[in-house]
Amino acid sequence: MAFFLETLLNGLMAGMLYSLVALGFVLIFKASGVFNFAQGAMVLFAALAMARFAEWIPQWTGIESRWLANTVAFVLAGAVMFVVAWLVERLVLRHLVNQEAATLLMATLGITYFMEGLGQTLFGSDIYKIDIGMPKEPIFAFASVFEGGILINQEDLIAAAIAAVLVAGLSVFFQKTATGRALRAVADDHQAAQSIGIPLNRIWVIVWCVAGVVALVAGMIWGSKLGVQFSLATVALRALPVIILGGLTSVPGAIIGGLIIGVGEKLSEVYLGPFVGGGIEIWFAYMLALVFLLFRPQGLFGEKIIDRV
């Protein structure tokens, strides 16, 4: 029982991290109809920027405090992501207005490759580490209830908390602020939004910026867990089943989808994996999402698409 609960909890927390990456996808899709395949590359790019700035800043300025260096690095990496967002809007999206969703998807595939190459050219392609001082020691909870207690990774706990705060913040931003309302208007209908004076281009830059910051946070957390290296870009492939399960247009969907996928992955790996040779996490997540899709083709919380001839 304790082992089951431990697996479940681990799954939930891994799921929170998937949601964080998935959130970037959902934000961009919600506000511009672009399925942003480049989110993984953005996570890698942001994490690389953050890791290298944190390393370079003490060399440049002689700042001793790790906390200060990390903060400055975070701000600088955020600024870099802003520039990326602006360039993407300027160079790519602006020219592809009113194209089909598939064309836009392929364009983001192009952006993915470009950013992976650029990131490693600018920041190097070794393995770097982000040290934001996360506690590494596991804690034992419920020691009185179960024998030996439940092992919880503190790092995961903090990451899950950061993810939760970010999601809450974004929900408020989307629901309560004027910019949030404008974003939702654009998502509903580009033309109608334009006709009441919402500047489409600026909205897109804002959305990609927000997605960039989400990527930065995700990259920071994943990077401090696993180290910053090329494989970080494949985190996006782990997050894809989350968004199709949750629905492409739903922020809560990304969270709940993430939790379902995280738990499904861990439980399947632990209880099913040994029978079939292990390593089934990644395809099991996709199969799980596929099963959900067969019953709800737009995902759990996606908008219903009505086709008209």
- Footprint of another protein on this chain (CB under 8 A)? 35, 91-92, 95-96, 99, 101-103, 105-107, 109-118, 120-121, 125, 237, 240-241, 243-244, 248, 276-280, 282-283, 286-287, 289-290, 293-294, 297-299, 305, 307-309
Of 95 and 195, CB closest to another protein: 95
Residue 152's H or E segment, with its range, is strand 150-153
CA dist 162 and 221 (Å) reads 9
Q: Closest separation between CB of residue 161 and another protein, Å?
A: 29
| 38 contacts 112 by C-beta, under 8 angstroms | yes
Of 25 and 74, CB closest to another protein: 25
Q: 263: closest CA among 17, 13, 1?
A: 13
Q: Closest separation between CB of residue 95 and another protein, Å?
A: 4
Of 95 and 197, CB closest to another protein: 95
Of 196 and 305, CB closest to another protein: 305
Q: 227: closest CA among 81, 55, 51?
A: 51
Q: Closest separation between CB of residue 119 and another protein, Å?
A: 9
The owner of tokens 């419920």 is 142
Of 117 and 135, CB closest to another protein: 117
Q: 262: closest CA among 8, 2, 5, 20?
A: 8
Q: Closest separation between CB of residue 273 and another protein, Å?
A: 10
Q: 257: closest CA among 8, 12, 3, 9?
A: 12
How many CB atoms within 10 Å of residue 84? 25
CA dist 197 and 48 (Å) reads 38
CA dist 224 and 230 (Å) reads 14
- Phi-psi region at 123: left, alpha or beta (left = phi > 0; alpha = psi -120 to 50): alpha
Of 18 and 74, CB closest to another protein: 18
Of 63 and 293, CB closest to another protein: 293
| 157 contacts 13 by C-beta, under 8 angstroms | yes
Q: Closest separation between CB of residue 6 and another protein, Å?
A: 25
DSSP secondary-structure letter at 270? I
Q: Closest separation between CB of residue 243 and another protein, Å?
A: 8
Q: Closest separation between CB of residue 206 and another protein, Å?
A: 21
- Residues 6 or more apart in contact with residue 247 via CB below 8 angstroms: 253, 257, 298, 299, 300, 301, 302, 303
Q: Closest separation between CB of residue 278 and another protein, Å?
A: 7
